C-alpha cells in the first residue's frame, strides 16, 4: 500500500491492521495451548510445530503493530500517524475552528474560565507592554 491520502484513511488502515495483529495474537495463544497439550501428551514433534506456528503468528502480529517507513508510510505506520496527525499544537485558530465545528459547544465553560481569569487579574499588577507590537516596545 502506498501513501494514504488522508488522516481518516490512515486511521482506518491502522484500525484494520490492529485488528489483524489482534487476530494473530489470539492464534498464537491457541497454538501455545496446543503445544502445551502436545508436550504433556508426549508428542514433542507436534509441540515443536505448534511452537513454530506460535512464533510465526506472534511475528506477524508485531509486524502489523510496528511497521514504519519514513518515505512511504504504510497502513501500519503508527509513527507516521502520530507525527503528522495526532495531537498537534494548540493555537487560537485550532480552538476557534473547534468551536465553530461543534456549533460553539463548551462555550459556557470556556467563557466562564476566561471570566474567572479576568477576576484573578484585577488584583495583580498589569502592564500592556507585552501586548504592544515589537517595534513599539520599550525595553
Distance CA 101, CA 84 (A): 21
Burial of residue 76 (CB within 10 Å: 0-12, 13-18, 19+) is: buried
| Structure confidence at residue 130 (pLDDT) | 60
How is residue 80 written as a grid cell?
507516521
**Please, what is the Cα angle at 14 between 8 and 17, to 5 degrees?**
145
| Structure confidence at residue 6 (pLDDT) | 74
| Structure confidence at residue 74 (pLDDT) | 56
Domain layout of the chain by residue ranges:
7-84, 92-136
Asked if residue 65 lies in contact with residue 95, where contact means CB atoms within 8 angstroms, the answer is: no
Q: Along the 139 residues of the chain, how does pLDDT read in single tens digits?
A: 455 567 788 788 788 888 999 999 999 999 999 999 999 999 999 999 999 999 999 999 988 887 654 455 555 567 677 777 777 677 888 888 888 888 888 888 888 888 888 888 777 776 666 666 666 555 5
Asked if residue 14 lies in contact with residue 79, where contact means CB atoms within 8 angstroms, the answer is: no
Amino acid at each position: 500500500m502506498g501513501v494514504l491520502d488522508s488522516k481518516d484513511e490512515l486511521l482506518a488502515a491502522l484500525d484494520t491492521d490492529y485488528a489483524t495483529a489482534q487476530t494473530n495474537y489470539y492464534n498464537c495463544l491457541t497454538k501455545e495451548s496446543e503445544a502445551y497439550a502436545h508436550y504433556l501428551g508426549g508428542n514433542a514433534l507436534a509441540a515443536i510445530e505448534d511452537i513454530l506456528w506460535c512464533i510465526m503468528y506472534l511475528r506477524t502480529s508485531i509486524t502489523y503493530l510496528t511497521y514504519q517507513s519514513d518515505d512511504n508510510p504504510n497502513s501500519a505506520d503508527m509513527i507516521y500517524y502520530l507525527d503528522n496527525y495526532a495531537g498537534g499544537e494548540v493555537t487560537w485558530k485550532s480552538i476557534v475552528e473547534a468551536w465553530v465545528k461543534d456549533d460553539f459547544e463548551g462555550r459556557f465553560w470556556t467563557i466562564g474560565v476566561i471570566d474567572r481569569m479576568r477576576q484573578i487579574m484585577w488584583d495583580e499588577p498589569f502592564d500592556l507592554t507585552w501586548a504592544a507590537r515589537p517595534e513599539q516596545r520599550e525595553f
